Amino acid sequence: MSLELRCTNEEKIPISVNPATASGKPVNLDGPIIVTVTSGDGTVEMIDDRNFFVVSGEVLEPTTFLIEGDADLGEGIVTVADTIILTVEGALAKSLGLSAGPAVIVTF
């Protein structure tokens, strides 16, 4: 599965991992998830074993994140993986940032 998201280069998006079987039944993983940036300028901020932020980079290009977990609750490792593609757009101006200096005397 792939999740496609958009944000500005000033934002990050929270992600929760909720593993499920093919029929949609909730299931556990063996250990924490692993999140890797496979391309792009974005980064990851882990919150805990199942929650993290995808963080935009400064470069206005997509970042691809690979999320992996161990589906085998026993001795072996059976990797289940998904991807997130985060498209980063430039933040737009929301104000003109006006400021005023002190009044000056008008000369005629």
Sequence ranges of the domains in the chain: 2-89
Q: Residue 103's pLDDT is what?
A: 84
Q: Say if CB 84 and CB 54 are below 8 A apart.
A: yes
H-state helical runs in 1-108: none
CATH number of 2-89: 2.60.40.3450
Closest CA to 84 of 17, 10, 24, 27: 17
- In tens, the pLDDT along 65-83 reads 999 999 877 788 888 999 9
Q: What is the pTM of this model?
A: 0.84
